Chain A
């Protein structure tokens, strides 16, 4: 019973994580029978067309069928749909509550920052643009020094976070920034482009990513410009299935990392995925 609920929760969580703000409604559940060496699949369909699947085993469903007295496919489907609606409703409620908490936290932080700015502007200073070390000591008779120090540290931290976010957004690669000299980066990109197929090169120049087909499984992967957490596995429709993270040791430049990732997927996919972390 718990195994079936676990499978359903995983599938529903995928929909929530991929559609953070526009959460789709659950539309249907289907069971795809086993075909050849492929196990049966449980598909979950959503109103916006998104669908997700997971392989299932008959033994996982025994307790579930017993609980719902569902011994044929239509009644099992009905029972699964009923169970999914309940789980999804709970998950959506938690999801919205979490989003509201995040919004509230952001709002509080922004309000606090505005308050600091207003106070600083009131004293005739351009607070945010000056390095914190240059700030004058607070005038006597104002708030206690300890409180001032906490506020100063908080503002410093906030500024640092903002810069970090801006840098990551600029490079467009999440957690990683470029390493190496400009010359090294250019050499890396040149080496990469020399060994990309014309279609991949065109794709990389236009979109900042290129697609690679796994040499062993034939699965499609998308390598985005970056050094870490930049590989996505795609399904037949080009939708993201999951992310993979692996890279060569030695703090290499982005071009080298992407070329190594491409060759690894093409030539020793199984080894690379064994080392990689899935996200």
Chain B
């Protein structure tokens, strides 16, 4: 199972999908496309607090993808 975590006002929303299920993967890919299109940055989270990687292309094999909304200066 892979998880997409989207940061939002409720803390976060998690979408889990089975990488063997092509429909679920297509849905996850569509979500990835929509969110990154809105300006979210996708990060493949590392284990034990390691930095992970910034990803620009959907990869169903990434265990946990975190979507960070666009940044702004304060």
Please report A residues at the B interface, Cβ cutoff 8 Å.
Answer: 179-181, 183-188, 190-191, 195-198, 200-201, 215, 228-229, 245-253, 255-256, 259-260, 263-264, 266-268, 271-272, 275-277
User: Are A184 and B49 closer than 8 Å at their CB atoms?
Assistant: no
The answer to the question of B12 belonging to the interface, with a C-beta cut-off of 8 Å to chain A, is: yes
User: What separation, in Å, do the CA atoms of A255 and B71 have in the docked complex?
Assistant: 15
> Bound state CA distance, A196 and B49, in angstroms?
4
* B2 interface hit (Cβ, 8 Å): no
A191–B8 CA distance with the chains assembled, in angstroms? 12
Give the CA-CA distance A253 to B72 in the complex, in Å.
Answer: 15
Interface residue ranges, B against A (CB under 8 Å): 5, 7-12, 41, 43, 45-46, 48-54, 66, 68-74
What's the minimum C-beta distance from B18 to chain A, rounded to whole angstroms? 22
Contact of A253 among B11, B50, B70 (CB under 8 A): B11
Given A191-B7, A245-B74, output 16 extra A-B contacts at Cβ < 8 Å.
Answer: A184-B11, A186-B11, A188-B11, A188-B12, A191-B11, A191-B12, A196-B49, A197-B48, A229-B74, A246-B72, A248-B70, A248-B71, A252-B7, A263-B68, A264-B71, A267-B52
In the assembled complex, the Cα of A229 lies from the Cα of B69 at a distance in Å of 18
Bound complex: CA A246 to CA B71 (Å) = 7
Give the shortest distance, in Å, between B56 (CB) and chain A (any CB).
Answer: 11
Chain B residue at minimum C-beta to C-beta distance from A266: B51
Scoring A185, A198, A245, A267 by chain B CB atoms within 10 A of each residue's CB, the highest score goes to A267
Using Cβ atoms and an 8 Å threshold, which residues of chain B touch A251? 9
Given contacts A263-B68, A272-B71, A276-B73, contact A200 B9 (CB under 8 A): no
Contact of A277 among B50, B69, B73 (CB under 8 A): B73
Partner of B69, one of A179, A186, A250, A271: A250
Assembled-state Cα–Cα distance A260/B43 (Å): 10
